[in-house]
A and B are shown apart, each in its own frame.
Chain A
Amino acid sequence: MANLLLSPLEKMYILHGVRDDCRSDGRTNIDYRPMELETDVVSHASGSARLRLANTDILVGVKTEIDLPNNDQPGYGKLEFFVDCSANATPEFEGRGGEQLANSISNMMQKAYQSSDAFDLKQLCIFEGKQCWKLYIDILILECGGNLCDAVSLAVKAALYNTRLPSVKTALLDGGNVDLQLSDDPYDNKLLNVDLAPLLVTLCKIGDKFVVDPSAEEENCSVISLIVGATGNKTNYNIDNKKNESCTDSKCTTIVMNGSGSLAPKTLKNAIKQGIEAVQFLDQALGQALLRERRENVTMKKYSYGFLK
């Protein structure tokens, strides 16, 4: 949102606020604004989620298709990210206006999910070397009110958590071709293992300090931000909520500096540590919300809210 204007004194107020750890809406530098999440909102997608973070509104749909595995990775499936910056969000996105932003977000997601520590592509294999699932993850930005990356990564993880692949009844090799039979029963499906899927945290440098979840006004006051992507934690998505399971540390899957400024090496190192910690809190909150929703689902209490109301 380039056309946001702020007066120098307003900027100064925000700057002092960050320095004193008391932002314009009373948050400290490490607080997120409340978010709202709903999964399974699009009926024709294998999995979907909608996330609202203040004014930022993200809708993610996962479509599954069957593809040939790559020659050098015969036992792996495929994952692709597409971002559409809808002109609904701001008229600036009209035409090719949002293309650059869309590309940078989809690139970042692709990088964050690249390692097998982040997402195991083996679970998308149907028949080694012959057939695999390909997940198209389409991210729609309906409204932007700052902090797009974090919101997108949360929505993507929720949508993948919600994704159901039809069960493969038989997959036989028949004269070089795969004879594939999928289950017709819509309830006969398998879920993906996305416990470790990464989340992105944007650390926005305002003055000498970093803040998480910057509002559009705060983003305007900053020349450099650091985006840290790190893996989630298994224990957060475990229904039994067993605490004794080994709590693995989050691993960085992608780190990118964004903006035209630079950072002192020491600041950078601190920010990376801060980012990894923030990912852990975020992942914990997401895990709790998703488990709560799944429980509602099991007890058949859940009904869809969708876009009305």
Chain B
Amino acid sequence: MPIDYRRFNGPEDSVSYKQYTKNFLKSYEELCNELIDENEHRKDGRALDEARTMYARTNMISQAKGSSYVELKKTKVVCSVFDPREIPNKNEFSPLGQIYCEVKFAPFSCPRKRRALVPDAEEKDLSLSLKKALEPAVCRYAFPNYQIDVFVYILEHDGACLAGAINAAGLALANAAVPMYDTITACSIAVIEDKLYVDPTEEEEYVANMTPAKEGINHGIITVAMLSTLEQVAGFTQLGSMDGTCVINATEILQKECQNIVPIIHQILVKDVIHNIDLSEKLEKEAKLREAALNENMEEWKKLLSAD
């Protein structure tokens, strides 16, 4: 339900029923041990350093200039990019174009709670991180005084949603033919009990953010966005508590993971172009056929007329 701002809104007092299940009361150790089996395999069968396979497509939303859909197993993200428009309420000339980003969770996207419709702190923070990551990728000098709107909607959240949002936004911007310096890709990593989980699920992220039983154990999440051809880090966020070497190790792994995504994005974009060419060829062929048919008809009519 939309919130009425004119009146004082009390705290929402309904809670997720999951709080009353056995699962909810599990201790940190139990949760930790559940994540991984004795063969170092994660719950979904992946190895620690194995990212989920990414599925992506463009032209998800027909009315947007460019749009994309990215799926990492159960993390599902839709992104749309609209035509540049003049910056609203601007008061001075800005030589560089601006990017406006909005990340929104669907109300039913998270396993632990229902998301409110009003943007909360986490969503605002994601929007800001997305904006900062996209800025170095887009040729902003090409549209001074204009802004590009990027809207990201997270349909299902199963970890790595910032990385998903950046990948989706990069793809949608390319699909919208916004000039860019490089393909932007992102990936995240969760650190739990000194172990590195590449491309974590929501459950793994939750444990990574939890307080470990012992002090001084590395834990947390790192997300890196890369412009791989230019070898530049466009976005970097770290959370939790970990020592310098751990951060640097994780960054190196993420760098490679980001590179692995680039061919997928390229493939989609190339396929998109090929598809468009095919489509136009097909249309042209059809048009020719139709024209020939019409010409035939005309000849027939002419004959009929001259016969009269």
Q: Which residues of A contact B (CB under 8 A)?
A: 71-72, 103-104, 107, 110-111, 114-118, 121, 226, 231, 248-265, 268-269, 272-273, 276
Q: Which of A252, A269, A276 meets B241, CB within 8 Å?
A: A252
Which chain A positions have C-beta within 8 A of B211? 115-116, 121
Task: State A257–B235 Cα separation when bound (angstroms).
Answer: 6
Q: B84: CB under 8 A from chain A? A: no
Q: Which of B136, B237, B241 meets A117, CB within 8 Å?
A: B241
Q: Which of A111, A251, A261 meets B243, CB within 8 Å?
A: A251
Q: Tell whether, in the assembled complex, residue B248 and residue A117 are in contact, meaning their CB atoms are under 8 Å apart.
A: no
* A/B interface sample: 12 pairs, CB < 8 A: A103-B121, A111-B239, A117-B215, A117-B216, A118-B241, A253-B241, A256-B237, A257-B235, A260-B96, A260-B132, A268-B251, A273-B244
Q: Tell whether, in the assembled complex, residue A252 and residue B251 are in contact, meaning their CB atoms are under 8 Å apart.
A: no
Smallest Cβ-Cβ distance to A114: which chain B residue: B239
Q: B236: CB under 8 A from chain A? A: yes
Which chain A positions have C-beta within 8 A of B251? 265, 268-269
A107, A114, A251, A273 pick with most chain B CB within 10 angstroms: A251
**B 193-212 contacts with A by CB, 8 A:** 209, 211-212
Q: Tell whether, in the assembled complex, residue A255 and residue B209 are in contact, meaning their CB atoms are under 8 Å apart.
A: no
Q: Which of A71, A265, A276 meets B15, CB within 8 Å?
A: A71
Q: Tell whether, in the assembled complex, residue B132 and residue A107 are in contact, meaning their CB atoms are under 8 Å apart.
A: no
Q: Tell whether, in the assembled complex, residue B132 and residue A255 are in contact, meaning their CB atoms are under 8 Å apart.
A: no
Q: Tell whether, in the assembled complex, residue B238 and residue A252 are in contact, meaning their CB atoms are under 8 Å apart.
A: yes
**B 277-303 contacts with A by CB, 8 A:** none
Q: Tell whether, in the assembled complex, residue B233 and residue A265 are in contact, meaning their CB atoms are under 8 Å apart.
A: yes
Q: B110: CB under 8 A from chain A? A: no
- The A/B interface has a contact count, at CB < 8 Å, of 106
Q: Tell whether, in the assembled complex, residue B124 and residue A264 are in contact, meaning their CB atoms are under 8 Å apart.
A: no
Q: Tell whether, in the assembled complex, residue B15 and residue A254 are in contact, meaning their CB atoms are under 8 Å apart.
A: no
Write the nearest CB–CB distance from B17 to chain A, whole angstroms.
Answer: 12
Q: Tell whether, in the assembled complex, residue B240 and residue A115 are in contact, meaning their CB atoms are under 8 Å apart.
A: yes
Q: Tell whether, in the assembled complex, residue A264 and residue B231 are in contact, meaning their CB atoms are under 8 Å apart.
A: yes
**Residues of B in contact with A, size category:** 35 or more
Write the nearest CB–CB distance from B277 to chain A, whole angstroms.
Answer: 33
Q: Which residues of B contact A (CB under 8 A)?
A: 15, 19, 24, 96, 121, 124-125, 128, 132, 135-136, 140, 209, 211-212, 215-216, 218-220, 222, 226-227, 230-244, 247-248, 251-252, 255
Task: State A253–B211 Cα separation when bound (angstroms).
Answer: 13
- Contacts A107-B125, A115-B219, A254-B239 hold; do A260 and B233 have CB atoms under 8 A apart? no
Task: State A261–B236 Cα separation when bound (angstroms).
Answer: 12
Task: State A121–B211 Cα separation when bound (angstroms).
Answer: 10
Write the nearest CB–CB distance from B181 to chain A, whole angstroms.
Answer: 9
Q: Which of B132, B215, B241, B242 meets A259, CB within 8 Å?
A: B132
Q: Tell whether, in the assembled complex, residue A263 and residue B216 are in contact, meaning their CB atoms are under 8 Å apart.
A: no
Q: Tell whether, in the assembled complex, residue A268 and residue B136 are in contact, meaning their CB atoms are under 8 Å apart.
A: no
Q: Tell whether, in the assembled complex, residue A272 and residue B235 are in contact, meaning their CB atoms are under 8 Å apart.
A: no
Which chain B positions have C-beta within 8 A of A259? 132
Task: State A249–B247 Cα separation when bound (angstroms).
Answer: 14
Smallest Cβ-Cβ distance to A251: which chain B residue: B241
Task: State A276–B241 Cα separation when bound (angstroms).
Answer: 12
Can you add 12 more A-B contacts, CB < 8 Å, to A251-B216, A265-B251?
Answer: A71-B15, A71-B19, A104-B128, A115-B240, A115-B241, A116-B212, A117-B241, A252-B238, A252-B242, A256-B237, A262-B232, A264-B231
Smallest Cβ-Cβ distance to B209: which chain A residue: A114
- Contacts A115-B220, A248-B216, A255-B247 hold; do A264 and B241 have CB atoms under 8 A apart? no
Q: Tell whether, in the assembled complex, residue A265 and residue B240 are in contact, meaning their CB atoms are under 8 Å apart.
A: no
Write the nearest CB–CB distance from A302 to chain B, whole angstroms.
Answer: 33
Task: State A115–B125 Cα separation when bound (angstroms).
Answer: 18
Task: State A72–B252 Cα separation when bound (angstroms).
Answer: 34
Q: Tell whether, in the assembled complex, residue A255 and residue B237 are in contact, meaning their CB atoms are under 8 Å apart.
A: yes
Q: Tell whether, in the assembled complex, residue B209 and residue A263 are in contact, meaning their CB atoms are under 8 Å apart.
A: no
Which chain A positions have C-beta within 8 A of B15? 71
Q: Tell whether, in the assembled complex, residue B241 and residue A257 are in contact, meaning their CB atoms are under 8 Å apart.
A: no
Task: State A129–B125 Cα separation when bound (angstroms).
Answer: 30
B135, B227, B240 pick with most chain A CB within 10 angstroms: B240
- Contacts A269-B248, A269-B251 hold; do A261 and B239 have CB atoms under 8 A apart? no
Task: State A226–B233 Cα separation when bound (angstroms).
Answer: 12
Q: Tell whether, in the assembled complex, residue B209 and residue A264 are in contact, meaning their CB atoms are under 8 Å apart.
A: no
Which chain A positions have C-beta within 8 A of B247? 252, 255, 272
Write the nearest CB–CB distance from A140 to chain B, whole angstroms.
Answer: 20
Task: State A186–B15 Cα separation when bound (angstroms).
Answer: 39
